Each structure stands twice: as C-alpha cells, then as structure tokens.
A and B are shown apart, each in its own frame.
Chain A
Amino acid sequence: MAHYTIMGRDPYWMNFYGLMILTLIEVLAVGYDLPEEKIFIFSNYTLMILTVIAIPKFIMIGMIFMHLYGSPDSGILTVTALFPAFFIIIMVLFIGLTHPEATTGLPEWCRPGYYNI
C-alpha cells in the first residue's frame, strides 16, 4: 500500500477524484460541438482533448493504482512495464501512422473485398 500522500490526502482517493473529473471532461468534450479545424497534429479539437486527457489518466492508474510509484519495487517494475513501449512505438507509429501512403490508401490485398486469398 502507498506510504505517501497527495496534497496531504490519501493518494487512492485523490487519484479516484482526478480520474472521475478527467472522464467527465472527456464525455462533455464529445457532447459539445467543438471546432472541426486542425490543431497541431490533431485533425480537430475533440481528438486533441481526448488524447490530452487519456495520457494523464493512463499515467495516474499505472503509477498510483498499480503502484509503479512509491513502492520499493516501483523502479524495476516500471522498467518492466515500459519494456513493450519499444514495440508499441514501432507498431503504432511506423505501421499505424507513417507507413507510406498510410493516409491515402492501403494495398489492394489489405482492402475490403479481397477475401479470397
């Protein structure tokens, strides 16, 4: 269990409150009509907000609920948890986003209708 506090309070309760608030913002952001224009690398404001909120939520659950922060084993277990990050970067960035023609088209064999391989 945690041997530290967040702003003088129990870390699990604080984490819980934080996650609930961030999720509420996430849902509200989708419910309202936000501008559709491109911002930074995001195709619209909604996608930017969803991405920006998902990252701290991911970290908050990992560090506080999964004890990757504040426990004697945290260091080596964090490295263990981050080990697949290399493969994740390869798969998401190189295959998901930056593959040649990723945004303009897929190979024919990768498209719907090409089932009789």
Chain B
Amino acid sequence: MSSYDDHHPSGWGPHDWGHGAPHNSWSPLIMSIGIGVFLFSVAGVYEWGEFIDASYIGVSIAGLAIIFIGLTVWWRQDYTFDGGYEPRSMGTPFRGIEVRKVAVWVFLMSEMMVFTSLFSTYMRYRFGIESCESVFMSGEWVEGSSVTCFEPAGHLIASSWFHLAPGAINTFALIISSFTIVQALRYAGMLDIDEDRRRKLVTRYLGTTWFLAVLFLTLKMIEWFLGFPLPEFLHEYNHGDSTIKSLYAEGYLINADSYQHKYYNTDYVASHGHGLDHESALYLMMEEGTHSGGQMMANIRVSASTFYVTTGTHGAHVLGGIIGLTYMTYKASRGGYTPDNAVSIEYFGLYWHFVDLVWVIVFPFFYLY
C-alpha cells in the first residue's frame, strides 16, 4: 500500500469506505426531523376527513423536502459501499453479528410493538362494541336515528368475490415479493456467475419486488377510493350492480355517523337472498307489528378508524419499501451488489418480510373476518 493517502474529510460523511471504520451519519437524524415535521403538519390539514387548514400544507412539503435530503445523504453514502467494512458487534449477546443486522432486528421489535398496539385496539373495540349485524337483527333501532355499532370492513369486503379480489391479489403479491427479494439476495451472493449475469438477475428480482409493491398500493387505492367496473356478463353475479364500489363510495368513512348500507335495509334483505332470519328478534317484531322495519342508520366511526389506521400504517410501510426499492433497483442496475455487500439486500429483506408478516395477520382479521 502506498504511504501517500489522499483521504480528505467529505461533506457527505462516511462514503469513503476504503479508509476503515465509517464515521457517523447525519441522515437518520435529518430524516427523523423531516418525518416529525411532516406528520405534525399533515395532521393539522384534515379533521374528521374534512379539509380545514391550508397553512399546514407548506410545512408538510418542507417536511417532505427534509426527508428527501436525508435520503439523498443516506444513499450517497451507501452507493459506494462495497462491503469492505461491515462493522460487527463486540459485546454480549450479539458478539460477532453484523451491527446493521442487529439494528434492523431491534427496529423490527419496535415495529412489532406499533402493530400490536393497533391490533389490540382493534380487538378491544371489536369485542367491546356490538356488531351492526347483531344490532340490526335485534331490532333495537329505529329508522331515522343513528345507533352506535361495530361494522367490520370484512363485512363489506368479504361479501363477494369481487370485493375480495383486490385484498386477495395483494396477499399473493406480497408473498411473491417476499420470495423475489430472497431470490435477489441469492443471486447477489452467488460466487459462480459472471458479473453481468448477476447484475441482470439482481436487478430483475428487485425490480419485480418494486412492481409488486406498487401493485399492492394501487389495488389498495382502488379498494379504498376508486372501485372498479365489471364486464356485463358478471353483473348478475354482483346482485345486478355494474360496479364494485370502493369503501369510500360505500360510505365506510372515519367520520361516518349516519352510515347506511343495503345489508341493513329490511326491504333489500327481503328482496335479495333468503330474507330475514325467521328466528331473529327483528323478524318476530315485524311479524307482531312492533317494528316497522326500514333502513338502519349507524355510527361506525370507531370501526372505520381502526380499519383505516391499521391498514394505512401497513400501507405506509409498503410505501417506505417502495422508496427503498427504487434506490436499490437503481444501484443493482449499475452493478452495485456483489457477494461482498449482498447483505444489504438481506437487511432490507428483513424489513420487507416483516411487512409481509404484518399483512399475514391484517388480511384475515381486517379483510376476511
């Protein structure tokens, strides 16, 4: 090695990996500030789904800009990382394990706590508030006045194969993406293939993961806001309706205090399917003439909030994954991943598998049940 060293401090921080241990990076701090500013300000823009204050929008954009600066610093530092220096833990109990790997696991532990809080909140309310279906069948409601009850989103989504389709496709998409990220890691770490083939395979698998993540969020938008039309020959399988309505169009909103749905209309129930259960209190009351039937109106704010907050938090994690994958796919396309630094894909993969893990729980209990 030459005794001459042209090492100079760089404003970008520890991207000069050839000079031993990396210095500390400012990017986590910059991004934390940006995320804090963004979340604080964006929370002031809307209240109960209503747009209230435009003055926060500028601050929100400033928050996004700070996040972008943090990402730029992070990626600039990582771009030249060739695996030459991978710090390992010195202390018990993680001695000898890569510091970044331990850090990702500690981060995932905190993420588990976040989702557990959301899930236990959901369970608490789900079991603590009577379901709208039970209230409807009990006859303890009067047309024109709102009753408070729990309306699980799964009641709408699992009501037909068409409604279920976006969520079900998303589930398969996430599982496939978990597999493609593992394949990207496999080929990045493979020693017995030439560089160009490795570059192409890693780029292909990371790109596929990126595509599946984008598909996930696109279908989520369709399910929440857009809905989709059905071809004419399928109308008869959808009670004669030509479209699959979005949750928004169904009125399933966090501020829905007078939610009305055809399932809770005695006329609709009588004219479709098997009608009212003859053993239900509502049927008996209507037979006796003590209940006039009609359309039940419900306050479903709690159930809609738990659904949107939990699935939205998960969706935000998918969005974070897309941002990371965009950079990683670019780096892979430039031949940036080799057996020496393939572990970087493994660390991102841990996060991505975690996102899949959360969906394994969210999908059945928020979408199907």
Residues of A within 8 A of B (CB): 1, 12-13, 15-16, 19-20, 23, 26-27, 29-31, 46-47, 50-51, 53-54, 57-58, 61-62, 65-67, 73, 76-77, 79-81, 83-84, 87-88, 91-92, 95-97, 99, 102-103, 105-106, 110-113
Contacts and interface: CB of A to CB of B under 8 A. Distances in A.
B137 to A, nearest CB: 12
Given A26-B364, A76-B97, A81-B108, A58 B128 contact: no
Smallest CB-CB A-B distances: 9 pairs: A96-B123, A50-B364, A106-B128, A91-B120, A96-B120, A30-B368, A16-B179, A84-B112, A57-B360
B142 interface: no
Interface size on B, as a range, is 35 or more
A61 B128 contact: no
B109 A83 contact: yes
B182 interface: yes
Nearest to A11: B182
Nearest to A101: B128
Contact of A65 (B97, B124, B178, B302): B178
Interface in B354-369: 354, 356-357, 360-361, 363-365, 368-369
Give the dominant DSSP class at B's interface: helix
Interface in B97-118: 97, 101-102, 105-106, 108-109, 112-113, 116-117
B175 interface: yes
A27 B113 CA distance: 27
A81 B109 contact: yes
B148 A112 contact: yes
Interface of B: 93-94, 97, 101-102, 105-106, 108-109, 112-113, 116-117, 119-120, 123-125, 127-129, 148, 158, 161, 164, 168, 171-172, 175-176, 178-179, 182-183, 185-186, 189, 299, 301-302, 346, 349-350, 353-354, 356-357, 360-361, 363-365, 368-369
B120 A92 contact: yes
Nearest to B189: A1
B116 A88 contact: yes
Nearest to B360: A57
Given A1-B186, A61-B357, A112-B301, A84 B109 contact: yes
Contact of B364 (A16, A54, A95, A99): A54
Contact of A23 (B129, B172, B179, B302): B172
A26 B368 contact: yes
A1 B185 contact: yes
A12 B129 CA distance: 42
Contacts of A20: 172, 175
Contacts of B113: 84, 87-88
A31 B120 contact: no
